[in-house]
Structure 1
């Protein structure tokens, strides 16, 4: 039985993706037209098979290789080899090390005060803006998330996070434009020079972070992670005998993944809430009841803020920061009655999985109550996969949820958010689900405007 899909085109599928507005939108159209399993042309990978049904995805959970060509746009970031496509035998110990650093709840709790201080600092800066002044959510929140991961795992603060965020955007944007042959207002020479400058800035930043860390064994640094602290990523890499180039690559990859995940997730959550006053009233009412007059939660409060957690999870369903992933079938597979030979590129359209109406009724609707215990019961475990799944899932998922929950609590406790009039939010593909011209909001204090219940 042949897998359904569009007819092959001489351009390898580039024009179809461009017409759809990017791969993130193209995947939705494919599955709307052809069903849960689709064969299609994927630039950089030849032909791929996309699976948008969480039950059928179970057949692929054991896959542990990524298709190298599809992730080649990340090659310029790395010196010792692209960390996104490490062979399974190299990836497994590297992943265990990252999980040991990033996934420990005691470390999350120990650093929670530092996270709160950084979140409060941003909130104070927004409060000092002219009344109702607009803020660029993704710019400010990704910069803050970058400072959080540097303080948590890399041993210090970052003085110029916005510059680092911009440099990542330049390098990844250029590579994606080349991959999909998208039009540009710059000549190839201008693009190459601009990208080289941005990459040099990123590598210089990594070198400064590592130099500031100092040699392993120098103890606590300014009250933050030091030798012997499980959250000390650089120290753990040194202790494991990791070569210097791989240490630099890991620091760079951690900065890239961590700031994108949290900052982008919180930005989309605030955007979605701005269009749903009932959900906003309910989450702010919960914050007022749980926190009282406190401006920020403590670590234990996160477990009491149940509706806020539902809001975050529903936002990650509607707008997953990473809209897709991919694996390489190293052995034959059968998925939904279709035979996939060894060597098949298996495409994971996370966004399409999250909008599958068979498991998410009215999938376009923003409704946090989907994540109540009653509605979650019986839902397939792979119906919600914003951090991926299996052996290549995001190592920092639990840390990202702590950071995002804290940020939402601090910001929603203090501010009301309204879209800037005339500003259009357009999701685009830039390694993550970004907004083309940021998400611009008018921010006003909630003082004297406490919500205590849900309004219509």
Structure 2
């Protein structure tokens, strides 16, 4: 049985994707038009199949290879091989090592105080703003999320944290520019390209030198103590102790920063935006925060499990606006999905946003309703109906850390402020490696008094 899909075009599908407003929007249209399994054209892939049904996705969870051509724009970022497309036999032990750190409670607890301090610094600055001055949530919160991951990945030991953040922004902007090519008429000339390449090379060298200094400061084999860096809550320490090469350690730090940058900040931005349009949900969150935290401005690590509605709000926001709107795998053999045969070497697309808006599993899917995630409503829902961090052996290793950061940020900000949309500002989602707003998300911030009144 042939997989349904649009007629092929000589441009390899680039025009259809551009006309739709990006790959995430194109996939939403594809599934609305052709059903849960769709064949479509994608530049860089001879055969691409998108699957938007969580039950049918079960047939793909074993896939452990990513399509190399789709991630080739990141090749120059890495020294020891593109970590996004490591072969399965090399990826599996690397992933296990990362999970011992990124997914572990010791790691989260160790860094919680530093994350709280960074979140509080941002809240203090917002509290000093004039009442009519809007906050650009994405710009502010992605900057904060990068500072948080720098503190995490480098163990808080970067000599110049702001310089490290600036260097990474320079590198990321250049590499994403290779993915999202500007129109020819707007492309920079040869001299400008050379200057940009020189800036990027210098920034990348600076990042690698920063990691090298942290590696050099690591002292293996010491007894456990306050100065011991070899515990499993320290990313670089764990990599050194595992015998990873300096090049692979540098690559891993950059990959961690790449995966975490934008993601947490964008997720929190979308959550505050959605709460701004649903004051009843915002009120319920602040009531929960006031009840659990009383007069404290920030939660302790142990408080987070006592904030179930905050978690439901975040989960619903990640359903409606997943920062990573899709994922991709490569088949190494033929695969049968829903009665359709997918050939070996095909790109299987996970259209995360389309899965999250599938009305068969999410009634009135466009509606923001955190109560979808109560235990009663969650019972019986397919496990792959909610996949903001992907699925299978290539799912995000840092999912637990990202959720921890997001819950902390939301708790700190919603305890201190009420957020209102800036009148006249239009929020338009676009896909730029993550799902973000084209012209940021500008909101007005009102300080809350200790009794909860504005």
Q: Indicate the TM-score class for this superposition, using the shorter chain for normalisation.
A: over 0.9
In 2: Cα distance, 1:292 partner to 1:369 partner: 24
Deviation at 1:195, TM superposition (A): 5.3
Tell whether the 8 Å contact from 1:63 to 1:329 is kept in structure 2 after alignment.
Answer: yes
User: Which residue of 420, 423, 444 corresponds with 2:446?
Assistant: 444
2:409 counterpart of 1:407: yes
Identify the range of structure 1 (355-364 vs 166-175) with the bigger mean alpha-carbon deviation: 166-175
Call closer, same or farther: CA 1:167–1:226 in 2, change over 3 Å: farther
Call closer, same or farther: CA 1:47–1:198 in 2, change over 3 Å: same
User: Which residue of 169, 173, 178 corresponds with 1:170?
Assistant: 173
In 1: Cα distance, 2:263 partner to 2:364 partner: 25
- Corresponding residue of 2:68: 68
- Corresponding residue of 2:57: 57
Tell whether the 8 Å contact from 2:171 to 2:203 is kept in structure 1 after alignment.
Answer: no
User: SS of 2:180's equivalent?
Assistant: helix
Tell whether the 8 Å contact from 1:80 to 1:249 is kept in structure 2 after alignment.
Answer: yes
Call closer, same or farther: CA 1:406–1:241 in 2, change over 3 Å: same
In 2: Cα distance, 1:398 partner to 1:321 partner: 15
Kindly provide the CA deviation profile for residues 350-376 of structure 1, in whole angstroms up to 9, marking residues without a partner as x: 111011111111111111111111110
Identify the range of structure 1 (65-74 vs 51-60) with the bigger mean alpha-carbon deviation: 65-74
Tell whether the 8 Å contact from 2:36 to 2:51 is kept in structure 1 after alignment.
Answer: yes
In 1: Cα distance, 2:184 partner to 2:450 partner: 50
2:312 counterpart of 1:310: yes
Tell whether the 8 Å contact from 2:149 to 2:260 is kept in structure 1 after alignment.
Answer: yes
Identify the range of structure 1 (10-19 vs 426-435) with the bigger mean alpha-carbon deviation: 426-435
Deviation at 1:384, TM superposition (A): 0.4
In 1: Cα distance, 2:245 partner to 2:9 partner: 44
Deviation at 1:114, TM superposition (A): 1.6
RMSD after superposition: 2.2
Kindly provide the CA deviation profile for residues 299-319 of structure 1, in whole angstroms up to 9, marking residues without a partner as x: 111101011000000010111
Kindly provide the CA deviation profile for residues 187-223 of structure 1, in whole angstroms up to 9, marking residues without a partner as x: 3633564355235324413422431453321799xx9
In 1: Cα distance, 2:450 partner to 2:292 partner: 17
Call closer, same or farther: CA 1:420–1:192 in 2, change over 3 Å: farther
In 2: Cα distance, 1:147 partner to 1:209 partner: 15
User: SS of 2:229's equivalent?
Assistant: coil
In 2: Cα distance, 1:316 partner to 1:177 partner: 24
Aligned length: 448
Regions of 4+ moved over 4 Å: 181-184, 223-226
User: SS of 1:214's equivalent?
Assistant: helix
2:232 counterpart of 1:233: no
Unaligned runs of 5+ in 1: none
User: SS of 2:186's equivalent?
Assistant: coil
Unaligned runs of 5+ in 2: none
Deviation at 1:224, TM superposition (A): 8.4
2:339 counterpart of 1:337: yes
- Corresponding residue of 1:328: 330
Call closer, same or farther: CA 1:334–1:224 in 2, change over 3 Å: farther
In 1: Cα distance, 2:147 partner to 2:288 partner: 28
TM-score by length of 1: 0.93
Kindly provide the CA deviation profile for residues 41-98 of structure 1, in whole angstroms up to 9, marking residues without a partner as x: 0111122000000000000000100110111122222222211000001101111111
Identify the range of structure 1 (131-140 vs 331-340) with the bigger mean alpha-carbon deviation: 131-140
In 2: Cα distance, 1:195 partner to 1:274 partner: 41
- Corresponding residue of 2:426: 424
- Corresponding residue of 2:99: 99
Tell whether the 8 Å contact from 1:206 to 1:251 is kept in structure 2 after alignment.
Answer: no
Tell whether the 8 Å contact from 2:134 to 2:422 is kept in structure 1 after alignment.
Answer: yes
TM-score by length of 2: 0.93
